[in-house]
Structure 1
Amino acid sequence: MRRSARPRGTRASSQIYSDLRTELVSLVRRPGEIISESQIATAYGVSRTPVREAILKLADEGLVEIFPQSGIFVSRIPVAALPEAIIIRKALEETTARMAAERVTSSQLLNLHAVLERQREASAAKHREAFHQADELFHATIAEIAGYPGIWTLIQQVKVHVDRYRRLTLPQAGRMAEVIAEHEPILAAIEARDPNGARLAMARHLERLLSDISEIQMINPEFFDQPT
């Protein structure tokens, strides 16, 4: 599909990178799928140079694999990398939850309640993409309340493959409701100005990601790498 706007130069590369990254992380482009530089260049109305620049950045993140003489392929989710990324995220978000409970204002609490309500609405509508976006906003808002929004930026860099894995958990029966049930005690502890309670609630929430890896891999083996 040809894009309506025709980006140029560095802006073209950045736009293509952003769009492709979104498609890869959301699993719109599935692991093992071939990526055609020429098709992307045609869709954006640009030469292959900015496409290649975007592809190289995505390869650096491990989202695509480049095989000379064979082509460019969407990478599979690296199972071995998931636990470390989740542990890093957990350590950082325990800190933001604790600090949010120490610093939260009344208006910030109202905002956090509104974000959680968006998740409930998305869950009721069975709209997984809207649910995921509200989930991201919930965690980003906690980092902002803590006074360290840059921590969320760092987490986003660390959790790229975790996000791909998380997309596979949402179709599981009852999972969206479970996430909301895990978010509610985090919010309750922040509202109660209970730093340790907020930290523990966040830890329990993110530990679930660790415990589900094997089950999700078993259900969706084609999405994961198969180390020998």
Structure 2
Amino acid sequence: SVTPVRDAILQLAKEQALVLKTPRDIRVPQLTEAQFIEIRTLRLALEGTGAEQAAAHITPKMLEQIEENIRQNRLAIDEKNLREALRLNSEFHLFLAQAARIPLLTQFIGSLWMRAGPLIAQAYAHFSVQMAIEHHEEVFAALQQRDASAARQAIQSDILDGSETMLAFIAIDQ
């Protein structure tokens, strides 16, 4: 049935993850530097809050899931499987938001990732950058210690370090 597909496309357009030029011309929008910085600013605030809250609510099972995500991501990076590494990276960030147990926060962060995701994938592919997940390991260690401040700092460092690659790509692409 066409309706579920159309509904999904309309929802993505509503969240500005797609642009509908005509019914047959659907595109992924190109982010400007200003738009990316706006998304980064929101991610710093929202994901920082999410990491703090996750430190207060994390369970042993959630810690196991995060640890497994990091293990799989390290393997994907070692195997130079960029697509899988990027998927696991976004999964890590969204799982951290879910661990905060604030559904609206998770929804907002997911929406920001939908808008920035294509740019992140293009930039890493263009530069053939070795993805680093050291900050993910720092987040994990902070969560184990239930250190909200360290969790916030680690996730924000991850976002800021990654944004340098994105900004360099935007500068080349525009």
Please classify the TM superposition score into its range, dividing by the shorter chain length: 0.7 to 0.9
SS of the equivalent of 1:144 reads helix
Which of the residues 14, 18, 24 maps onto 2:7? 14
What letter matches 2:7 in structure 1? Answer: S
Q: Displaced runs of 4+ in structure 1, greater than 6 A?
A: none
Correspondence for 1:175 among 107, 130, 133:
130
Cα offsets for 1:149-202 (capped at 9, x unmatched): 4322211223333112111232334431x2x11211111111111110111111
Matched, 1:112 2:66: yes
**Would you say how many aligned residue pairs link Structure 1 and Structure 2?**
172
Distance 1:57 1:191 in 2: 35
Q: Among the aligned pairs, what percent are the same residue?
A: 22
Q: Which runs of 5+ in 1 are unaligned?
A: 1-6, 18-53
Residues 14, 76 of structure 1: CA spacing in aligned structure 2 closer, same or farther, 3 A cutoff?
closer
Instruction: Supply the distance in 2 between the matched residues of 1:158 and 1:148 (Cα, whole angstroms).
Output: 16
| Separation in 1, partners of 2:60, 2:17 | 41
* Partner SS for 1:175: coil
1:38 aligns with none
Distance (Å, rounded) in 2 between the aligned partners of 1:141 and 1:62 = 20
When residues 115 and 150 of structure 1 are mapped into structure 2, their CA distance, relative to the original with a 3 A threshold, is farther
Question: Among residues 85, 89, 92, which one is paired with 2:46 in the alignment?
Answer: 92
- Residues 34-183 of structure 1: matches in 2 within 5 Å? 54=10, 58=13, 61=16, 63-64=18-19, 66=21, 72=25, 74-79=27-32, 80-171=34-125, 172-176=127-131, 178=132, 180-183=133-136
SS of 2:30's partner is coil
Distance in 1 between residues matched to 2:158 and 2:76, nearest whole Å: 19
Which structure has the highest helix share of the two? 2
Task: Supply the RMSD in Å over aligned alpha carbons.
Answer: 2.6
81 and 110 in structure 1: CA distance in 2 versus 1, 3 angstrom threshold: same
User: What is the SS of the residue equivalent to 2:71?
Assistant: helix
Between 1 and 2, higher relative CO (CA 8 Å, sep ≥ 6) is seen in 2
